[in-house]
Amino acid sequence: MTTTWERLRRPLAVVVVIAGAFLLPFLLTTQQQSLATRALIFGMAAASLDLAYGQAGLYSLGNAALFGVGGYTVGILMVRNGIESFWILIAAAIVGAALASAVFGLIALRARGLYFILVTLALGQMVANIAQQWSFLKTSYSESVTGIYLPALGLGEKWTNGTFYQFVLVIAVLMMFVIRRIVTSPLGSAIRGTRENEVRMAVLGYNVWRYRLTALVLSGTLTGVAGALFAFQAGLIAPTNLGLAASGLLVLMVIIGGSGTRYGAFIGGIIVTLLTYYASQWNEQRAPLIIGVIFVVTALLNRYRGRLAEAVRGMRHREVSDAAA
C-alpha cells in the first residue's frame, strides 16, 4: 500500500497543481490574468532554452532571436496575409523557428566555449537588426508588427484573458511533457553525454556534432512556439523582444530556476517575469537595476552553491551533535 502511494503521490501532486492553475483565472483580475499568461509563456521559453543550456551545455545567447522568429512569423502571416487559423500559424512558426535554429546551429557549432557564446550573440543581434531595419517587418508606421490578435481554433471559442490563459496553460503542460520525454529518452541521455565528455562519446561512436545540433534545433523550435504565443497575447512583436537584453533575461530565468533540473527553468521563467513586472510597478526607472542585482547574486550563488551546501550541512551536523550532547 505504501509503495503504491509513493508511486502515485508525485503524479497526483502534478494533477492537483495543474487543476489549481487551470482554475486560477476565477481568482484573478483581468490584468493579473494577462500577467499569468505571460509568465507561462516565458516559463516555456526558459524551459526550451534549458534543452540547449542545461542538457547539452550549449550556452546560447541567441534564443531570444528564435523567440522573435516565431512571433514575427505569426504576426506577418496574420497582419499581412489575413491568416487567422491557429493551426496554420503555429505550424508556420514551428517550421520557421526550426529552420532558423538549424542555420544558427550550423554556424555557431563551428566555434566552442566563449566563442560559441559570442557567435550566438552576434547571430541574435543580426536578426534583431534585420527586424529593426527591414520595412517588411514593420506595420502601421511603427518599429514593430502590430495588429496581431488572438487566433481562431475553429472550435467556436470565445476568447477572453481567462480562456486564453487556460489555452496557454494546456500548451505549457504539453510542452513540458514533450521536454520531459526528450530529456528521459536515449536521445536526451546522448545529449547530456556530449556535455559531460565529448571525447568519450565520440570514441563510443556517437556523432557529437549531430547531437548538439539536434539539441539546438529542438530548443530553438520550442522557443519559437513560445514566441508565437507571446505575439498573440501581446498583440505585437518588436525588435526589443529579440535583442541581447531579451536573451540575457532568458538566461537569467534558467539560472534562477536551476539549469538541467526537471521544472526549474520553467519555474524560473515565471519568477523572473513576475519580478520584472512588479519591479517596474514599484519603480520603473530602477527595475533594470533590480533585475541586474538579482542576476549577479544568482550567478554568484550558482558558482559557490557547493560551498554553501557544505556549510549548511556542517551547521545541521553541529546542531544534531549539540542536541545529542
> Is 306 inside a domain boundary?
no
Domain annotation covers residue 165: yes
Instruction: Give the total number of structural domains in the chain.
Output: 1
- Predicted local distance difference test score (pLDDT) of residue 166: 93
Here the CATH number for the domain that contains residue 138 is 1.10.3470
Whole-Å CA distances, 231 to 125, 149, 245 = 19, 8, 18
pLDDT digits 0-9 by tens, 247-271: 888 988 898 888 888 788 999 899 8
Q: Does 131 fall in a domain?
A: yes
User: Could you read off the pLDDT of 29-68 as tens digits, one per residue?
Assistant: 889 999 999 999 999 999 999 999 889 889 888 899 999 9
Sign of CA pseudo-dihedral 250, 251, 254, 257: negative
Supply 55's cell numbers: 542538457
pLDDT, average across residues 140-151: 85
Which has the closest alpha carbon to 291: 275, 278, 303?
275
pLDDT of residue 313: 62
Residue bearing the bigger pLDDT, 143 or 161? 161
Please give the residue range of the domain that contains residue 182: 2-282
Task: Assess contact for 87 and 74: CB atoms under 8 A.
Answer: no
What is the rounded distance in angstroms from the CA atom of residue 99 to the CA atom of residue 33? Answer: 33
Does residue 304 fall inside a structural domain? Answer: no
Considering the domain boundaries, does residue 117 fall inside one? yes
Asked if residue 217 is part of any domain, the answer here is yes
Q: Answer whether residue 323 shows pLDDT above 70.
A: no
Per the domain annotation, does 317 fall within a domain? no
For residue 51, the number of C-alpha atoms closer than 13 Å in the C-beta half-sphere is: 32
Q: Measured between alpha carbons, how far is 87 from 157 in angstroms, rounded to an integer?
A: 14
Residue 318 lies in a domain: no
pLDDT of res. 14: 80
Closest CA to 253 of 241, 243, 263: 263
Q: What is the pLDDT of residues 168-191, one digit of tens each?
A: 999 999 999 999 999 999 999 999
